[in-house]
């Protein structure tokens, strides 16, 4: 994570969803004091367990609004930066895309800078099924024909990945369709270059990419 100079903040539904081999501190609240403590106590990043913190859609909306606001304030107060990762291996989370939309809204408002894309690292379904699922879950706001897809053949050349990411704006969806470590390392190199240019991203990730982020410097 050195090139990113960011701590990885991984939102998970339940303790059992922790990624094997990714040993991060775990926190169960998203108030400002807890997130300040998380930044101070954590080296590479930390888990935030979201399950049972909300019982319905309205509570979930408030929860992710609070996370988005407080993660920014805590980062400023503790002089840290972060990469927001929502661990979701199959997009089955009933609060997708509410979770990332609320986080986007709060962080964008606080930072005065919108997100270029929501990156979805997922190969649990074929590409067409993923695109259809995302379009359906976003109520057609993000059309499948407008999504950017990076298949394994597209993840060989770092410069080509940077070019593809540069096409995204207004929180468009970018599907990274692999779980292969070498290709995800290529993607991380490209993502790093784009972040260094001032772009913002939220990531809906499978286990494989969380492992790549965690092991980057090790």
Which helix (H) or strand (E) element contains residue 158? helix 158-165
pLDDT tens digits in sequence order for the chain, 218 residues long? 545 568 999 999 888 899 999 999 999 999 999 999 999 999 899 999 987 667 788 888 999 999 999 999 999 999 989 999 999 888 878 889 999 999 999 999 988 889 999 999 999 999 999 999 999 999 999 999 999 999 999 999 999 999 999 999 999 999 999 999 999 999 999 999 999 999 999 999 999 999 999 997 54
CA–CA gap between residue 155 and residue 209 (Å, rounded): 13
CB distance 119 to 203 below 8 Å: yes
Beta carbons within 10 angstroms of residue 203's beta carbon: 25
Quick one: CA dihedral 139, 140, 145, 150, positive or negative?
negative
pLDDT tens digits, 60-76: 899 999 999 999 999 99
Q: At what angle do helices 158-165 and 181-196 cross, to 10 degrees?
A: 50
Whole-number pLDDT of residue 95: 84
CA–CA gap between residue 156 and residue 158 (Å, rounded): 6
Phi–psi pair at 139, nearest 5 degrees: 55, 35
């Amino acid at each position: 994570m050195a090139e990113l100079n960011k701590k990885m903040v991984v939102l998970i539904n339940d303790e059992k969803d922790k990624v094997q081999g990714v040993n991060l501190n775990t926190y169960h609240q998203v108030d400002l004091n807890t997130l300040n403590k998380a930044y101070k106590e954590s080296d590479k990043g930390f888990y935030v367990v979201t399950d049972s913190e909300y019982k319905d859609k309205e509570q979930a909306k408030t929860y992710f609004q609070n996370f988005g606001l407080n993660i920014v304030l805590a980062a400023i107060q503790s002089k840290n930066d972060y990469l927001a990762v929502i661990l979701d291996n199959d997009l089955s989370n009933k609060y997708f895309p509410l979770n990332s939309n609320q986080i986007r809204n709060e962080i964008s408002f606080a930072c005065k800078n919108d997100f270029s894309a929501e990156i979805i690292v997922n190969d649990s379904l074929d590409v067409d099924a993923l695109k259809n699922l995302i379009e359906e879950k976003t109520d057609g706001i993000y059309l499948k024909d407008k999504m950017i897809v990076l298949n394994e053949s597209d993840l060989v050349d770092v410069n080509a990945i940077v070019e593809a990411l540069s096409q995204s704006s207004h929180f468009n969806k970018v599907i990274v369709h692999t779980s292969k470590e070498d290709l995800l390392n290529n993607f991380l190199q490209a993502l790093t270059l784009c972040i260094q240019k001032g772009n913002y991203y939220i990531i809906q990730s499978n286990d494989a990419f969380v492992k790549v982020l965690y092991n980057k410097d090790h």
